[in-house]
Amino acid sequence: MSFFLPKLTSKKDIDEVIKSVAEKVLVLRFGRDDDLVCLQLDEILSKTAHDLSNMASIYIVDVDKAPIYTRYFDISYIPSTVFFFNGQHMKVDYGSPDHTKFVGSFKTKQDFIDLIEAAVGGLTGICRAHSHQLAPLQSCLKVCAAGLKTYQITPDYSNVVLPAKPKLKFLNKVPNLKKAKKESKKLRDIQGPARAANSFTSGQYAIVALGGGYLHWGHLEMMRLTINRKIDARTTFARWRINAPYKPITRKGLGQRMGGGKGAIDHYVTPVRYGRLIVELGGKVELGEVEHILIEVAKKLPFPAKVMSREGLEEMQRKQKEMEENNQNPWTFKRIVEGNMLGIRKVLSPFDLRNHGRFTGKFHFPERV
């Protein structure tokens, strides 16, 4: 009887049905068309589909064609029937430990009708005193109104490819140079916005710098060890978005007098600017699974940093652009400087002219337009 019922053959079809069916109970039968118990259940569903057309929409799903939902609802036995109402997954308590689905076939057509009528009739419990005349299924069935839970649409990881080496690689403490050369401080290395590595490549989540600063080799080792120990390499990968330490920092020995030239190279650091991605994570994981790891790392960095997803970074950039477009104040920093009002360009540096006052050294002012 399965050919009398509409079929859903892909995850996209299931998602659209869950979103579109409103003010009705959505019934999804997971199973196979050649299974005897599934055929028995399909016969009951097909006979009641017309009578319950105002209260329920019934679809059948092949477990082999929707593996994502099969794993999501932990469907080990077929047939399994899952219920939704207005896009929300319904928990049905019928006396078994698993309340997320109905496993097996209904004994009679009336059992299935009683269940749908109970769900539509206010989503209230229908367990009553044993002295009442109830159907066999009703005596141990309860549709929990408090058990309604909104399930997010399961993400599709079919296009995710894990690299051969998913963990962060070791970064050298000292660059491989024939002859090390001393440099001046060049604080411009940490001032202003990042011009490189400011967008995602292959990952989904990252630690984003919200200010400028220098990363020592100890910071890099802390990040590498923390992330590599806590991620699952079977489902998650991580990659660096910064270079190994390359900028030399000099220091004179303790107790030396002033003068005598520039001191010897003490260590190397990696400069970081605002908006630069430090570490990027991806794979078959959601943000909640790796967020606590990234937050633990971000708190230990020498500059403000935030854990962001690909969508979160796009949303932040969109809000900044929207602030600039919808700004009602005509006297912006850019207009005042371009008009040289009160001769202000005499006291401004090229750095201020280029960034329109949104940065002061390594610090960023997000509220400025």
Among 103, 95, 101, which Cα is nearest to 79's?
A: 103
Residue 335 tokens, joined: 């207009």
CATH numbers and ranges of domains, the chain: 2-143 (3.40.30.10), 157-321 (3.90.1170.10), 327-369 (no CATH)
pLDDT by residue for the chain (369 residues), tens only, comes to 456 788 888 888 888 888 888 878 888 888 888 888 888 888 888 888 888 878 888 888 888 888 888 888 888 888 888 888 777 777 776 666 667 788 888 888 887 887 777 766 644 343 333 333 333 333 334 444 444 455 566 778 888 889 999 999 999 999 998 888 999 999 999 999 999 999 999 999 999 999 999 999 999 999 999 999 999 999 999 999 999 999 999 999 888 888 889 999 999 999 999 999 999 999 999 999 999 999 999 999 999 999 999 999 999 999 999 988 888 888 888 889 989 998 999 999 889 888 888 898 899 888 887
State the Cα–Cα distance between residues 309 and 203, nearest whole angstrom.
9
With the CA atoms of 72, 75, 80 and 85 taken in that order, what torsion angle do they form, in degrees rounded to the nearest 10? -10
Q: Using one digit for the tens of pLDDT, what is the confidence trace for 236-290?
A: 999 999 999 999 999 998 888 888 899 999 999 999 999 999 999 999 999 999 9
Residue 159 tokens, joined: 């296009």
Question: Which three-class secondary structure state does DSSP give residue 248?
Answer: strand
Amino acid identity, position 369 = V
- Cβ–Cβ under 8 Å, residues 165 and 287: no
Residue 20 tokens, joined: 């579109």
pTM over 0.85: no
pLDDT at residue 125, rounded to an integer = 41
Residue 240 tokens, joined: 């660096």
- Cβ–Cβ under 8 Å, residues 54 and 86: no
Question: Is residue 110 classed exposed, middle or buried when 0-12, 13-18 and 19+ CB atoms within 10 A define those classes?
Answer: middle
Q: Using one digit for the tens of pLDDT, what is the confidence trace for 299-351?
A: 999 999 999 999 999 999 999 999 888 888 888 888 899 899 989 999 998 89
Question: Which three-class secondary structure state does DSSP give residue 202?
Answer: coil
Count of H helices and E strands in the chain?
9, 17
| Helices (H), ranges, the chain | 11-20, 36-49, 67-72, 109-120, 217-230, 287-298, 310-325, 333-338, 350-355
b/e per residue 78-89 (b: at least 16 CB within 10 A): bbbbbbbbeeeb
- Cβ–Cβ under 8 Å, residues 289 and 275: no
pLDDT at residue 94, rounded to an integer = 64
State the Cα–Cα distance between residues 352 and 369, nearest whole angstrom.
13
